[in-house]
Amino acid sequence: MKKRSIALAAIAAVLVAGGGYYASLDKETRGLLAAMPTDRDVLMWKQDQRDAAFRAMDRLPILAKASTIAPAAQPLPLPQGQPLNIPGVEQYMAGQRSAGIVILQDGKVRFERYGLDFDATGRWTSFSVAKSFTSTLVGAAIQDGYIKSLDDKVSQYIPGLRGSAYDDVSIRQLLTMSSGVRWNEDYEDPNSDVARFNNAKPEPGMDATVSYMRKLPRAHPPGEVWHYNTGETNLIGVLVSSATKKPLAQYLQEKVWQPAGMESPATWLLGASGHEIAGCCIQATTRDYARFGLFVLGGGVAGGKQIVPPDWFAQATVKQKDIGDPGHGYGYQWWTYDDGSVAAQGIFGQGIFIDPKRKLVIASNANWTRATKGPEPEAREAFYKQVQALIDAGK
């Protein structure tokens, strides 16, 4: 799989808190604050700093502001199923530096375990797992009539993009990351777009993402080349908010979080312009990430209502673009497998793996040793296959 991304603007530097503010924090939060990193770039954080930060992004106002997403009045039950005995799981979790794993099959909990002093009540940041939530909100906006077609031009909904390289780009091409607009996603290059666009000063009265993206040149004709681009997911978020006239967090609450029966509040970090960072940074419990997997398995039906078009996930979760990785592809902000499975993935080990054939959902959070380049991604893929094999064997 290719690099998963993070909107670096969400990770602002932790400043020295004023005495009055610091004293007002609870003991646990003060402890977390003491361990917080001071560098803006998450890739520069030390492991213990990430351990502290990934569970507390939304708890420190000096770190970042966030919108709150209220849970359902009646949470979707997750009854206990037959326990799944997974040989070597302790070693696997240690190697992954797992914060939590929840495995559901046929809507029942077959495995649930936590690490890194994290638990079922805590919220862990999603990083690019949020992209798949944002994609789903596009489907909801189509179902609600706010967006007419995926073939509509993006500039119809974001006037600030008129006259730019995005003028002829469709919503579908944004969803599949095939706009053809030039973009550098290299996190280790301080001059890359992904490093610069979050810190660029926006034009007066314009969303920060739109202000940066509208200046980019074209590299390929729209629709021809797949190229991973976090900035474009942020554009999708702006587009949904513009079409619905609602903040993303509010729309997610209305269309997914409450209808799908999420049990706990969630949050969504805000960027420089006060807009939710669509490509990153939802904070939620591991169980509620798993419930989102059930929502996808159910075809987007929740609370007795069809939230997205009936064929939405049939299109969103299959290979729309080849990514040069045999057996895998890219859908509408989903990573696809040729066996019909699909995943939402974020750097440092966040993921929701969904296998419709086996009615299987694996939600996991972690703090890998490296963002994507260590041994953990391959081990996680092997773990998914191990769980599938156990289920096929009737274990």
Q: Is residue 1 part of a domain?
A: no
φ, ψ for residue 214 (rounded to 5)? -70, -15
Of all helices (H) and strands (E), which one includes residue 346?
strand 342-346
pLDDT for 12: 36
Q: Is residue 2 part of a domain?
A: no
Q: Is residue 145 part of a domain?
A: yes
pLDDT for 16: 32
**How many other C-beta atoms lie within 10 A of the C-beta of residue 13?**
12
Of all helices (H) and strands (E), which one includes residue 231?
helix 230-244
Paired with 305 in beta bridges are: 302
Tokens in use for 198? 């979050």
Among residues 208, 214, 316, 215, the alpha carbon closest in space to that of 270 is found at: 208
> Which domain does 52 fall in, by range?
8-392
CA distance from start to end of the chain: 29
Q: Is residue 137 part of a domain?
A: yes
Q: Is residue 3 part of a domain?
A: no
Q: Is residue 291 part of a domain?
A: yes
Q: Is residue 376 part of a domain?
A: yes
φ, ψ for residue 66 (rounded to 5)? -145, 150
CA-to-CA distance for 130 and 281, rounded, in angstroms?
A: 6
CA-to-CA distance for 223 and 115, rounded, in angstroms?
A: 42
Tokens in use for 144? 């609600």
**How many other C-beta atoms lie within 10 A of the C-beta of residue 88?**
10
Sheet with 282-284, edge to edge strand ranges: 66-69, 266-269, 282-284, 124-125
pLDDT for 2: 40
Q: CB–CB of 232/222 below 8 Å?
A: no
Among residues 51, 32, 45, 39, the alpha carbon closest in space to that of 13 is found at: 39
CA-to-CA distance for 176 and 227, rounded, in angstroms?
A: 9
Q: Is residue 169 part of a domain?
A: yes
pLDDT for 64: 67
Among residues 32, 21, 70, 38, the alpha carbon closest in space to that of 54 is found at: 32
Classify residue 170 as exposed, middle or buried by CB count within 10 Å of its CB (0-12, 13-18, 19+).
Answer: buried
Provide the pairing of β-strand 321-322 with 124-125. Answer: unpaired
- Residue 113 corresponds to which amino acid? R
| Domain tally, the chain | 1
Q: What is the pLDDT along the chain (395 residues), one digit of tens a residue?
A: 443 333 333 333 333 333 454 566 566 666 655 665 555 567 678 899 899 889 998 886 555 689 999 999 999 999 999 999 999 999 999 999 999 999 999 999 999 999 999 999 999 999 999 999 999 999 999 999 999 999 999 999 999 999 999 999 999 999 999 999 999 887 667 788 877 777 778 888 898 899 999 999 999 999 999 999 999 999 999 999 999 999 999 999 999 999 999 999 999 999 888 899 999 999 999 999 999 999 999 999 999 999 999 999 999 999 999 999 999 999 999 999 999 999 999 999 999 999 999 999 999 999 999 888 899 999 999 999 999 999 999 98
CA-to-CA distance for 102 and 352, rounded, in angstroms?
A: 10
CA-to-CA distance for 278 and 101, rounded, in angstroms?
A: 24
CATH code of residue 96: 3.40.710.10
| Long-range pairs, 74-79, Cβ under 8 A, ≥24 | 74/261, 75/261, 75/262, 75/263, 76/260, 76/261, 76/262, 76/263, 76/291, 76/294, 78/104, 78/107, 78/108, 78/109, 78/287, 78/290, 78/291, 79/107, 79/108, 79/109
